[in-house]
Amino acid sequence: MVLGKKAVVTGATSGIGLCIATTLARHGADVVINGFGDVDRALKHFQNSPSNVLYHAADLRNPSEIEALMDFALSKMGGIDILVNNAGIQHVSPIESFPTEQWDAILAINLSAAFHTMRLAIPSMKSSNWGKIINIASVHGLVASANKSAYVAAKHGLVGLTKVAALELATTGITANAICPGWVRTDLVQKQIDARAKMEAVSTEQAAQRLLAEKQPSLQFTTPEQIAELVLFLCSPAADNIRGSTFNLDGGWTAQ
């Protein structure tokens, strides 16, 4: 399904992105990963994969570094077939006290970076008339929560951007879709669980359960593996006519 394909996964040094990248590599795709943190630890996850995996350190807040990342992917792999825009950050605060630098960073990483990677990958996808653009949005691309202004604005924007790309590419072999997870227990969410445990003076596990109970009716976290399997499906021929769609993996969050 993805054997021999060439993929870029942003924000793939931890969490959901790392799981998507390892899943694509395990199924035979060459992958360029990007992100911060413990890169050596991330690369160890690919030790047994049959494909080539390369790392680029681009800071996605900076369009010129995104250009360097995409040039690197195009030259090292000879093209880009699969683009997973996954990198994202969060900051929680009411609008009136939301730090403006956090607003700028969230919009740059969670939204503008996807515009830049898409504009730079689409010509390569057009040359082979095959491409899969998968944007990791969020339930917050569909509904809002208080204190997450920048994140909700960026994720709603990302869903809109995905729809525009799908329409512009509708008669080609290139599809664009968005995945909208609810709570997934990664570093990004663990910070929110820890903050809640401290504020409400409860254990981490009690805080995690309270977080779920508030929004996610299944009372279970979505797993990175469930998201990675959906990415694989979206790369399969069965998904060739799925265009501009949003896939909620949210335990019922947006059904309420």
* Active site residue ranges: 151
Q: Which two tokens stand for residue 115?
A: 């515009």
Q: Output the smallest distance, CB 250 to ligand NAD, in A.
A: 8
Nearest distance from residue 228's CB to ligand NAD, in Å?
A: 11
Q: How far lies 42's CA from each of 14, 16, 29, 53, 149, in Å?
A: 7, 12, 17, 11, 30
Phi, psi of 88 (to 5 degrees): -165, 150
Rounded CA-CA distance 256/237 in Å is: 32
Tokens of 12: 């793939």
CA distance 138 to 89: 12
Tell me which residues touch ligand NAD (CB under 6 A): 11-17, 34-37, 59-61, 86-89, 109-110, 136, 138, 181, 183-184, 186-189
Question: Minimum distance between the CB of residue 20 and ligand NAD, rounded to whole angstroms?
Answer: 9
65 Ramachandran zone, left/alpha/beta (phi>0; psi -120 to 50): alpha
Nearest distance from C-beta of residue 123 to ligand NAD, angstroms: 22
Residue with tokens 């669980």: 193
* Residue 188, SS3 per DSSP: helix
- If the CB atoms of residues 107 and 202 are measured against ligand NAD, the closer one turns out to be 107
Q: For residue 246, what are the β-bridge partners? A: 178
**Least distance to ligand NAD, CB of residue 136, Å:** 4
**Residue tagged 């969410």 (tokens):** 189
| CA–CA distance, 74 with 8 (Å, rounded to integer) | 10
